[in-house]
Amino acid sequence: MALAAAPPGPTGYPLMGVFPMARRDPLGFFADCAGRYGDVVSMRLGVHHVYLLRHPDHVKHVLQDHARDYVKGPPASRVRALFGESLTVLDGDRWRQRRRQVQPAFQPGQHTHVLAATARATGEMLERWRLSAERGEPVEVVSEMRRLTQGIIIRALFGEVPPAETRALGDALDLVVAHVDRRLWSPLGWLEVPTPAGARYQRALGAVAAFVTRRVAEARRAGVPPGTFLAALVDPSHSGGSEPLGDAELHNECRAFLFAGHTTTAGALAWIWYMLSEHPETRERIEQECGRVLGGRAPGAGDLLHLDFTSRVIDEVLRLYPPTWLTARTPAVDGALGGYPIPAGALLLLSPYLTHRHPAVWEEPERFDPDRFTPARVAGRPAFAYFPFGGGPRRCIGSTVAAAEMQAIVATVAQRYRLSLLPGMRVTPAAGLTLRPHPPLLCSLSPLGRGSG
């Protein structure tokens, strides 16, 4: 069958293309393009020829069926400051070797240590909340979830770290992420012009690098607590049949884990508490399930299998508000999608946010319905209709760990406090590095009982 000349799409402006429109409201702009032009949309975004893909079959083609033909490195250049030369941005044989080297750190046996780190960090947060609840003070959920998930990934990677050092590292992580986030859609933000904000960013990036370098050196010299990610990464027997990671490679992976291991999980958790506040009947079902299964204690790995409804709620929130709302690939060879030619070197945008709302796949896609994720309904949907953690060979290496961490946090908090959004707040999704609620979520705390924590 002959290919059409080019997919439809917005015209945009000379030189800049659609960039001025996209940067004002990326999420709204791309959603409007998909609704207006269909499953394959062509546009110019600055110097890039961009194709926005929405249909699950096209996502499967890129991420799974022909994954070797679509590379990640070029589109990832704007976040390289966060991830360095890590698994997140590598391609080809380098990526395959690194994946083999890193994979053992994410085997199911690691869940026990991550859940222990989760229980401890969540308990510390709940103790802070106890004072807020007694005073009738609201908590700001977005920053609370960010600080919580930072504490978890730091412990999961390195073991116990002094509280002052954890706070300092968390502040540095926040500053770096915020700076990269601001520059993502800035037409001039990637010019290296000296500014006070740029100097603070460089100092924070240096602080993160110094922390990781110090911890890696200590691990090489004296070892690290067993069960941590770093312990698995430095163990030569866990090299996946490849050469063990060198210091530079280890540094890059640890830095990537620090950033990737908290930003997306924190965003997802914030959306979970928002949706539970907006749907009290769902919140009550979670409270009942967690109370019945756990009886006030923190969950272990075996308990998570019995928290079916809690798991479905998390899945549905990730459908509506996937933290990684946009991902990109570049075709290494000329190809075709949806009956249109796709040239090598183009920029392909895949959006879980849009695919998770595809009207041909999801009935009433804007409606919150955790029972979409019962086994029978999941089996009836096409592959890649739902891909909050990516998919194919490059599916997020930490996806099962992140899912267990979120389930454990929700189950622990839901036994202790009911979070309710303060009256009058109007929340919308803000699209940057991750999809986060805007404005920050102020919630009141209603104690539910003693529970663990």
Question: How far, CA to CA in Å, does 288 sit from each of 138, 213, 260, 274, 284?
Answer: 24, 45, 32, 19, 6
Question: How far, CA to CA in Å, does 98 sit from each of 69, 88, 93, 166?
Answer: 19, 10, 9, 28
pLDDT of residue 451: 44
Rounded to whole angstroms, the maximal C-alpha distance in the chain is: 69
Are 391 and 63 a contacting pair, CB within 8 Å?
yes
Helix, strand, or coil here: 293?
helix
CB count within 10 Å of CB 303 equals 17
Q: Which residues contact 398 (CB under 8 A, 6 or more apart)?
A: 106, 257, 260, 261
Are 420 and 277 a contacting pair, CB within 8 Å?
yes
Residue keyed to tokens 């404005």:
439
pLDDT lower than 70: segments of the chain: 1-2, 4, 74-75, 187-193, 236-242, 449-453
- CATH homologous superfamily for 19-366+394-447? Cytochrome P450 (1.10.630.10)
User: Which own/partner contact pairs does 92-97 have at CB distance under 8 Å and 24+ positions apart?
Assistant: 95/394, 97/242
Are 82 and 177 a contacting pair, CB within 8 Å?
yes
Q: Which residues contact 152 (CB under 8 A, 6 or more apart)?
A: 114, 117, 118, 121, 261, 262, 405
Instruction: Please name every residue paired with 314 in a beta bridge, in sequence order, or none if there are none.
Output: none
Rounded-to-integer distance, Cα 347 and Cα 237, Å: 39
Rounded-to-integer distance, Cα 402 and Cα 139, Å: 23
The token duo for 167 is 């706070």
pLDDT of residue 242: 63
pLDDT of residue 452: 39
Q: Cα 162 to chain center, whole Å?
A: 26
- DSSP classification of residue 51: E
**One-letter amino acid for residue 365 of the chain:** P
CB count within 10 Å of CB 451 equals 21
- For 358-380, give one letter per residue: b (16+ CB within 10 A) or e: beebbeebeeebbebbeeeeeee
pLDDT of residue 453: 38
Q: Which residues contact 233 (CB under 8 A, 6 or more apart)?
A: 101, 102, 105, 245, 250, 253, 254
Q: Give tens-digit pLDDT for 229-246.
A: 999 898 866 555 567 889
CB count within 10 Å of CB 320 equals 18
